[in-house]
Every structure is written in structure tokens, then in C-alpha cells.
Amino acid sequence: MKKIIIDPVTRIEGHAKITIDVDANNRISDAKIHVTQFRGFEKFCEGQIYSQMPALTARTCGICPVSHAISSIKACDILLGVTPPQAGINLRKIINLAQILQSHTLSFFHLSSPDFIYGFDAKKEDRNIFKMMQTHPQMAKDGIMLRAFGQKVIQTLGGKRIHPDGLVPGGVEQNLDTQTKNTLLLEIPNAIKIAEETLIFFKNNLAKFEKEIDSFGVFPSLFMALVDENGNLEHYDGKLKIIDSEGNVLQENISPQHYKEFIGEAVEAESYLKSPYYKPFGYPQGMYRVGALARLNIAKACGTPKADKELLAFKALNAGKPVLNSFYYHYARLIEMLYALEKIELLLKDETTMGEALHRTSKILKTQAVGCSEAPRGTLFHDYEVDTNGIIQKVNLIIATGNNNLAMNAGLKQVAQTFINAEDVSEGALNRVEALIRCFDPCLSCSTHALGIVSSNIELKDHNKNIIQIFKRN
């Protein structure tokens, strides 16, 4: 006869509230994440000129502005009918990987690692990076260093650390020079060492979290990600691939231009977060997951030696079938961090990265285009319609986190049913509910375009939908 409200959900990017419904027999009947604020990028971008879209949409987020800029410039490339020079493509790839590295680092070290170090039942005042700095100073330093390296790459090649302005339709503003290349290459071995050590730390601690691994969003779902022409891990370009929970391929070689044929968008009454679904299966049966877990489940290989070795171990978790435990999102992100570093090194050493990086043109050749890339949290779509002068008529954005909306709700219900005792709600149980959300590393302000003042809640409601208790965090 209760409703639990957690408000706000902490250590996530953005603002959300969780409601947990309890029936007359004190059993958890449902749990949902609500994103209650709205930002309206799709509306206010109308009437703007296409060339402003990369800068405008990058402001969607302060954590992953590069991903938005990348998808946006790719859409603009198509509008202009321009193919960037190979150096431009390589530099965009490097900046995108640096973004994935810094975002994953933030998710793991700054937001989630306190749970792994101190446990989910630790005092809430201890579960933060400041405590970690006191007890595990080297690990905290490593996390900060790794994120700083990602940011440095973005700044050096893109012009600015956050919201880089060097990413433009037709390529990248600045060519790469030898000195810059060598400076960045110097730092990579140490960064790879940190990524490897972090993977070892995580794997060594997995035994402590068996119950969480088995109950944090373990359910069959579809998975979607971009892959390259060989079916390997790809973040910048490639074709969409969708598999089911058994690993059967439902769709492959889908051009992102045709995403609407396969992905529908549902809207729920209590959230501004869209609920995209796989169209052939309908709503909500067409629930799919995106992000690091989906990418590694779908990719045949990473294409870099160290990450490929780790990918083999990852795939063995479920005997080669897709890994269904959402807890392993953390694991997948750590492997992607290693991959990102190895791939940045390869791309920097590639001779073709050194050439002219920009083709300039401003003649509109197409009036509709979809830009798609893999953001840290999953597949990101920017769909623009313009008039013949390049003025935006319509915008549709499917933000990475939004793709996971149905899966996050399914995971929440499972965690709430496993850990929450409705008669006596413990702090540790609430933290696990929030930790489930952290597995998906959602970026809510990004995905809903929420203008946040208040962060998120957990609500406990009875079967008549009356609120019994609200857990608010100040």
C-alpha cells in the first residue's frame, strides 16, 4: 500500500525521479524512472541555419558534446553532399574516441567506483569520490588523469575541451601537426596502463557483487549498435545491426538514413524521455539496449590487440551469447576505454591523419539527412530536414540514453523486487536502485533536454497510486 520516491537519483548525469509501486500485499508491483523536465532542442532549432546545428546541439550536453557535434556534422555532410578528406575523418574518429574515453572514465571512477570500493551498503557519506581520494588516492588520481587525457585530446584537436568548435561540416578545422601528434602519443602508454589496471581491479572485485550481477537488469532484450564492414566495433561510422538476446541477427547492414523503418518512438505520460522501440516487435515488446554492453555483444571483434583479448573474456561470460546482465555495462565500458586508447594510438600513427582535414562547401544538395554515431551511452541519431537555403524545418533527435529507457524501467523493477522490503526500506536497497540506473550511465539532461532545478526522487506509492513516502536527496 505504498509508493517509494527517490529524489534525486544521485551520481548520474542529469535529473530524474524513481517511483516504486507497492501492492496491497507489500510486494513491489512496478518501478519507473521519470524524467520530468524538458529542454526543447527539437523545437527551437527550427528556423536556424544548418551550419549552426553542430554548435547548437553540442550544447545539449556538457559530458558528451562531441558525440552530438559528430552526429550533427555527419548529417550536415550529407546535406552538403561532401565527403571529408581522410585526415578529417580520422581526426573526427580520434576526437570521438577521446570523448568516449573521458565519459566512460567519469562514469566509472567519479560516479560508480565508490560502490565497488565500499560496497552498496556503505554509509552514504562515504560513497563518493572525495572519500576515495582519502582511502584510494592513487585510483582517484588515475581516474582524474585518464579523464584529463581524453579532454586534452579533444582540446588539442577540436579547439576546446568542452563544446569543441573545430568539428565542422566537411571535416575538422585544424590539421594535425607532427609536434601535436608526438605530444599526445607520449601520454598513451601510461593511460593504457591505467586502463588495464582498472580492468584488473574490476574483475578482482566481481566476486563481491554476485547478487547484484544476477539481479541488476538481467533480462532478455534486443541489442542495437553500429558495426563496421567486418562486423567489428565502430563508433564513428558504419551500419546499424540489431540482434536478439540469443545472438540471432534480426537486422544488419541498415543504413542509419533508414532508422525510422526500424525504430518507433513511444511517449509515456509521466516522463519527457522518449521510449524508442524496435518497430517490427511493437511497443513495448521491442525493447532494446544500446551502449557499451550492446556494442560488445554485437561486435565480432574490437580490432585492437589488448581490447580483443579482453573481449574474448567478456564474451565467455555467457558462453559466447549476448551478455544480458546490465551490471556488466561497467565491464564493457572499461574494455571500451582500453580500445579507445589503442585505437587513438593507431589513428595518430596513421600517415593519412596528417593531411588536409577540411573540404569547404556550403551548397545544399539534399534537404533531409540523418547523422548517426555511437555516443558513450549508445547510438545517437540527428535527423534534420532543411529547405533549399539550409534553414532547418524539422529536427528529430534520438539520444543514446533514450534508447535504453524501456530497459532501464525493466531493470528498475527487477532490482526493486530483489532488494526492497516495502515494510522497511533500507538505505542500501535504495542505493542499489540508483546503482541500477548508474549501470546504464544515463545522461538525462541530454536525452530529455531537461532544464533541471531539482534533481530526482524515489516515490513509494500504494495500489491506489497514493504516495506513501518520498525519498528526497538534498
Q: Is 439 in the site for another protein (CB under 8 A)?
A: no
| 51 binds another protein per the rule CB under 8 A | yes
Chosen residue from 360, 366, 394, 465 binding another protein by CB under 8 A: 360
**HSE-up of 215 (CA within 13 Å, CB side)?**
17
The dihedral built from the CA positions of residue 340, 341, 342 and 346, taken in this order, carries a sign that is positive
Beta bridge partners of 373: 380
163 binds another protein (CB under 8 A): yes
Per CB under 8 A, the segment of 292-300, 354-362, 407-415, 439-447 that binds another protein is 354-362
Q: Which of residues 397-416 bind another protein (CB under 8 A)?
A: none
Among 24, 49, 200, 312, binds another protein (CB under 8 A): 49
| Residue from 361, 393, 426, 466 in contact with another protein (CB under 8 A) | 361
CB–CB of 445/39 below 8 Å?
Answer: yes
Candidate residues 56, 334, 338, 450; the one interacting with another protein per rule CB under 8 A: 56
Q: Out of 362, 393, 421, 466, name the contact with another protein by CB under 8 A.
A: 362
Tell me if 174 contacts another protein by CB under 8 A. Answer: no
Of 52-60, 126-134, 138-146, 418-426, which part binds another protein (CB under 8 A)?
Answer: 52-60
Phi/psi at 275 (nearest 5 deg)? -120, 85
Q: Which stretch binds another protein (CB under 8 A): 48-56, 222-230, 249-257, 337-345?
A: 48-56
Q: What backbone torsions phi and psi does residue 146 show, to the nearest 5 degrees?
A: -65, -40
- Three-state SS for 130? helix
Q: What are phi and psi of 403, to 5 degrees?
A: -55, -30
Assess 84 for contact with another protein (CB under 8 A).
no
Residue 377 C-beta: closest distance to another protein, Å: 23
Distance in angstroms (rounded) separating the CA atoms of residues 47 and 229: 37
Start-end of H helices in 119-227 = 129-135, 137-158, 178-205, 210-215
**For residues 101 and 91, what is the distance between their CA atoms, to the nearest angstrom?**
15
CB atoms within 10 A of CB 261: 12
Distance separating alpha carbons of residues 101 and 322, to the nearest angstrom: 23
Q: Which of 185, 200, 249, 391 binds another protein (CB under 8 A)?
A: 391
Size of the site for another protein (CB under 8 A): 17
Binding site for another protein (CB under 8 A): 47-49, 51-52, 55-56, 59, 163, 165, 360-363, 389-391
